[in-house]
């Protein structure tokens, strides 16, 4: 079990299950959250918006059931609770699965095995989808799955990714770093790699089907872009990526400082 860490992820699954509600005694359907191997865990309490360039995190490298999730959670409210409000709620500042009948908390001990078994069973049938919305929580408790899981590997590092752009970036606290923009034609995927000022890798993020999603991720991380450089000055492919990226930034409301 992983106790009291921060969690930054864009790989998570809503896993449906049935269980007996300890509150009203009826059988209820609800859902819980399982996060994937590319999720990043770090020191508790660190805020994604202020330190993504400053403090390194470790990849989880396993699937894990979210036992408890709290602290700084504004992303979670937007990505989970507001979308699935009959399934999840914040009770006592903790994300919890709730009973469809009485809306009471379904405690982790009462649902853990149903969720983990359901995840493996539905995953084998490819009935689970990565929700792909970035969220950050400052305090989580996770139970990792043992052994290999049957879900498709989430590793994005593939020889067919090409580096297109390198952007200088700055966080709201003035930390500087770079964001690399990679693209795979074969996978139709954009990936970003965020590095600190010393070149240390802080975050890798794939699963972006277009540049709009890349812009959303960058803005959710609280990063401002200060300069764009082509990875290869003479490449028309890189120049096209720059134009498309600038267009996506402009559509999202970003303005170039003159
Ligand atoms: Zn109930």
How much distance in Å is there from the Cα of 99 to the middle of ligand 1? 5
Confidence of residue 14 (pLDDT cuts 50, 70, 90): very high
How much distance in Å is there from the Cα of 94 to the middle of ligand 1? 18
Q: Between residues 149 and 136, which one has the greater pLDDT?
A: 136
Confidence of residue 46 (pLDDT cuts 50, 70, 90): low
- 7 pairs with which residues across the strands? 41, 137
How much distance in Å is there from the Cα of 25 to the middle of ligand 1? 6
* DSSP code string of 79-137: IIITTSTTTEEEETTEEEEB-TTT--B--HHHHHHHHHHHHHHHHHTT--------EEE
Cα–Cα distance measured from residue 179 to residue 218, given in angstroms and rounded to the nearest whole number: 9
How much distance in Å is there from the Cα of 79 to the middle of ligand 1? 24
Residue 32 has pLDDT above 50, yes or no: yes
- CA 16, distance to chain mean position in Å, is 19
> How much of the chain, in percent, has pLDDT values that exceed 70?
92
| pTM of the complete model | 0.78
CA nearest neighbour of 110 among 19, 224, 242:
19
For residue 244, give both structure tokens: 């498309």
How much distance in Å is there from the Cα of 64 to the middle of ligand 1? 25
Residue 74 has pLDDT above 70, yes or no: yes
Residue-level pLDDT at 157: 52
Hey, how many other C-beta atoms are within 10 angstroms of the C-beta on 2?
Answer: 15
Q: Between residues 201 and 15, which one has the greater pLDDT?
A: 15
Per DSSP, 141 falls in state: E
CA nearest neighbour of 55 among 41, 37, 74, 35:
41
How much distance in Å is there from the Cα of 103 to the middle of ligand 1? 6
Neighbours of ion ligand 1 (CB under 5 A): 21, 23-24, 99, 101-102
Cα–Cα distance measured from residue 239 to residue 73, given in angstroms and rounded to the nearest whole number: 38
Cα–Cα distance measured from residue 151 to residue 238, given in angstroms and rounded to the nearest whole number: 33
How many CA atoms lie within 13 Å of 235's alpha carbon, on the beta-carbon side?
13
How much distance in Å is there from the Cα of 32 to the middle of ligand 1? 16
SS3 state of residue 13: strand
For residue 49, give both structure tokens: 């918006």
Cα torsion angle, 160, 166, 167, 171, sign: positive
How much distance in Å is there from the Cα of 27 to the middle of ligand 1? 8
């Amino acid at each position: 079990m992983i106790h009291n860490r921060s969690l930054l992820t864009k790989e998570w699954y809503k896993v449906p299950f049935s269980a007996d509600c300890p509150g009203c005694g009826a059988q209820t359907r609800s859902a819980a959250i399982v996060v994937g191997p590319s999720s990043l865990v770090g020191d508790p309490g660190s805020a994604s918006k202020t330190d993504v360039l400053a403090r390194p995190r470790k990849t989880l490298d396993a699937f894990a059931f979210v036992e408890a999730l709290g602290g700084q959670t504004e992303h979670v409210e937007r990505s989970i609770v507001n979308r699935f409000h009959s399934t999840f709620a914040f009770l006592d500042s903790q994300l919890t699965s709730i009973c469809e009948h009485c809306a009471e908390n379904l405690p982790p001990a009462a649902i853990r095995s149903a969720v983990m078994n359901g995840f493996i069973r539905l995953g084998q049938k490819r009935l689970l989808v990565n929700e792909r919305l970035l969220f950050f929580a400052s305090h989580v408790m996770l139970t990792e799955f043992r052994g290999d899981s049957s879900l498709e590997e989430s590793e994005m590092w593939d020889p067919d990714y090409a580096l297109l752009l390198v952007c200088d970036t700055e966080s709201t606290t003035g930390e500087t770093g770079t964001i690399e923009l990679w693209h795979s034609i074969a996978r139709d995927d954009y990936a970003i790699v965020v590095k600190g000022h010393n070149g240390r890798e802080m975050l890798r993020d794939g699963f972006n089907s277009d540049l709009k999603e890349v812009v959303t991720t960058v803005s959710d991380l609280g990063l401002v872009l200060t300069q764009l450089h082509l990875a290869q000055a003479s490449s028309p492919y890189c120049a096209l990526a720059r134009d498309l990226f600038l267009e996506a930034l402009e559509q999202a409301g970003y303005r170039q400082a003159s």
